[in-house]
C-alpha cells in the first residue's frame, strides 16, 4: 500500500538523484573553464566543488536512508540506516556546507574590505563544529537540550552571514547586488524558521521529556544504542515533524551548495574607488 511517507521518500530520492546529476554537470562545466578563470578564482571554485561533493553526496545518502535520530526511527531496515552511521555522514556533510559559506564570505569580505565579514567567515566553521558536538550529545543521550543549542548556533551563524552580506551590499557592484539580496532574503527566512519553529520545537520536546521524568542514556550507552538499534516505521505520524526540514534541507540547501560552485569573481566586489576608500578608513 502506498502511503504519504512513500510519496515523501520518493521525492527525497528523486531530488537526491537530480542533485547528484547537477553536481556532476557543474564539475564537468568547471573543468572546461580552467583557462578562462583567474588562477586564484579557479583554486577557490575547485575547493567549492570538493566541499559541495561532500554535502551533495552526504545528503543523497541521507535521502535514501532517512533517520529520525532521537527515537531511532528509520525507513530502511539496515545497519546503514543506524543513527551512528547517519549522524557521521551528516557531520561531514554539514561541515563541508558551512565551509563553503565561510569561503564565500571570506572572498566577498576581502574584495570589499569588510572587517565584519572577515571575522564572521573565520568564526563560522568553529561554531558549527561546536554545534555538531551538541548534536552528537542529543543523538547519543536522546536529550533534546543539545539540539536546542545546536540549532541556536546554526541560526546565529546564518544571522552573522546575513549581517555581513548586508554590510557589503551598498558598496558592491550593481551586478552583484541581486545575488547578495537573494542570499540575504534566504538567510532571513532561514533564521526566522530556526528561531520561530525549529528551536522552540526542540525546546518543547525537551520540556515534555523533563515533565515525565524521562531518563537519558549516558554517552557510552548512547553509542551502543545508536549503533545497534533502529526502529522501522512508515507511519506518517512518526515522520510528520521531520518532513518540512528534511525536504528543504535535502533540496533547497543542496541547490545552494551547488550554486556556490558558479559564484562570480568576488576578488573585487566594490564599485570602483569605494574599495580603496573603505580600506583606507579601516587602516
pLDDT of amino acid 275 = 47
Answer whether residue 151 shows pLDDT above 70: yes
Query: What integer best gives the mean pLDDT of the chain?
Result: 89
Among 166, 158, 165, 163, smallest CA distance to 190 is for 158
Show me where the domains of the chain are located: 4-282
pLDDT above 80 (res 3): no
Kindly report, residue by residue over 221-246, the tens digit of the pLDDT.
Answer: 999 999 999 999 999 999 998 998 99
- Select the more confidently predicted residue: 53 or 37: 53
pTM of the model: 0.89
Is a pLDDT exceeding 90 seen at residue 175? no
Provide the Cα torsion 98, 100, 101, 103; round to 10°: 120
pLDDT at residue 101, as a whole number:
94
3-state secondary structure of 273: coil
The set of residues, in sequence order, having a beta carbon less than 8 Å from that of 222 and lying 6+ positions away, is: 139, 140, 141, 142
Residue 278: predicted pLDDT = 46
pLDDT band at 25 (very low <50, low <70, confident <90, very high): very high
186-227 pLDDT per residue, tens: 999 999 999 999 999 999 999 999 999 999 999 999 999 999
Beta bridge partners of 231: 73
pLDDT at 264: 79
- Report, as an integer, the average pLDDT of 273-283: 46
Residue 268: pLDDT band with limits 50, 70, 90: low
Alpha carbon 148 to chain centroid distance?
Answer: 16
Amino acid at each position: 500500500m502506498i502511503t504519504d511517507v512513500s510519496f515523501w521518500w520518493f521525492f527525497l530520492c528523486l531530488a537526491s538523484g537530480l542533485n547528484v546529476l547537477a553536481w556532476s554537470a557543474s564539475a564537468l562545466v568547471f573543468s572546461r573553464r580552467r583557462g578562462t578563470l583567474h588562477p586564484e578564482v579557479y583554486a577557490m571554485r575547485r575547493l567549492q566543488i570538493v566541499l559541495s561533493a561532500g554535502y551533495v553526496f552526504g545528503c543523497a545518502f541521507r535521502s535514501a536512508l532517512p533517520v529520525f535520530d532521537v527515537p531511532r526511527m528509520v525507513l530502511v531496515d539496515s545497519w546503514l540506516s543506524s543513527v551512528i552511521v547517519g549522524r557521521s555522514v551528516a557531520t561531514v556533510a554539514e561541515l563541508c556546507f558551512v565551509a563553503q559559506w565561510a569561503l564565500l564570505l571570506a572572498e566577498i569580505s576581502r574584495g570589499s574590505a569588510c572587517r565584519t565579514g572577515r571575522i564572521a567567515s573565520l568564526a563560522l566553521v568553529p561554531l558549527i563544529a561546536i554545534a555538531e558536538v551538541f548534536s552528537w550529545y542529543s543523538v547519543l543521550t536522546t536529550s533534546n537540550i543539545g539540539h536546542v543549542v545546536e540549532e541556536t548556533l546554526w541560526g546565529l551563524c546564518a544571522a552573522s552571514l546575513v549581517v555581513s552580506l548586508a554590510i557589503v551590499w551598498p558598496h558592491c557592484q550593481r551586478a552583484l547586488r541581486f545575488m547578495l539580496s537573494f542570499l540575504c532574503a534566504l538567510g532571513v527566512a532561514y533564521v526566522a524558521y530556526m528561531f520561530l519553529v525549529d528551536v522552540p520545537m526542540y525546546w518543547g520536546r525537551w520540556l515534555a521529556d523533563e515533565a515525565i521524568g524521562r531518563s537519558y542514556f549516558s554517552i557510552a550507552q548512547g553509542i551502543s544504542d545508536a549503533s545497534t538499534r533502529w526502529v522501522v516505521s512508515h507511519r506518517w505520524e512518526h515522520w510528520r515533524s521531520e518532513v518540512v526540514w528534511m525536504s528543504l534541507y535535502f533540496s533547497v540547501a543542496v541547490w545552494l551548495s551547488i550554486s556556490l560552485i558558479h559564484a562570480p569573481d568576488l576578488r573585487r566586489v566594490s564599485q570602483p574607488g569605494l574599495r580603496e576608500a573603505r580600506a583606507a578608513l579601516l587602516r
